[in-house]
Structure 1
Amino acid sequence: MRLLPWTGTDGKPCYLSTDDPDSLLSRLADDVEAAQLASAETVLAGARAVLHDDKSGERAARFALTRTVESLGDVLRIAVGRGDGTR
């Protein structure tokens, strides 16, 4: 069973039961994971920039932190789905 990188409409985890890594849903999940990881790199760079800018205000810090938390959630879901983390 593979934990997919998204949740259902009810917020519950979605799983894929297949041994075919080339199935349409497997490839879609791989593409979504790749996009989430790329986004996390961008968010991390932005958060670092906000932290290093003495003129960044509370609004910028809150925005950066919110995006960082979202990205961290995505990355952790990917790690758990790949068996590299625990939940």
Structure 2
Amino acid sequence: MSRRTEEPLAAPDTCALRLLPWTAADGKPCYLSTDGDHSRLSRLADDIEAAQLHSGEQVLTGSRAVLADAKAGERAVRFALTRATESLADVLRIAVSRGERIEAADR
């Protein structure tokens, strides 16, 4: 079993960069270089992360309801899985970003 040697969401070499909860138009990650957590853009990123986490909770609730419904059709299941996949990607991005900030604060 081979292991990936690079993290797809890992920040570039410098630890001072914050992975933002959105991507560029081409799908590449966006980073913020700032000396503090209280800049306008940092607060916007915090608000978007909170909204993404809240949305993920709602998607989880809805997906569980679809899966519990034996009569749910393929369309409903595919929709629930699509939304769950999107939410999981958001949550993983948030986890990577916060983990990098914790590591940087420990240094």
Common fold by TM > 0.5: yes
Q: Which residue of 2 aligns with 1:40?
A: 56
Q: In structure 2, list runs of 5 or more residues that go unmatched.
A: 1-16, 101-107
Is 1:20 the counterpart of 2:36? The answer is yes
Q: Which residue of 1 aligns with 2:47?
A: 31
Please tell me whether Structure 1 or Structure 2 has the larger radius of gyration of its CA atoms: 2
The Cα shift of 1:40 comes to 0.1
What is the total number of aligned residue pairs between the two structures?
84
Q: Which residue of 2 aligns with 1:78?
A: 94
**Residue identity opposite 2:37 in structure 1:** P
Q: Which residue of 2 aligns with 1:63?
A: 79
Identity over aligned pairs, percent: 74
Question: Hey, what's the Cα distance between the residues in 1 that align with 2:97 and 2:38?
Answer: 17
What TM-score, normalized by structure 1, do the two folds share? 0.94
Give 4+ residue runs of structure 1 displaced > 3 Å after superposition.
none
Q: In structure 1, list runs of 5 or more residues that go unmatched.
A: none
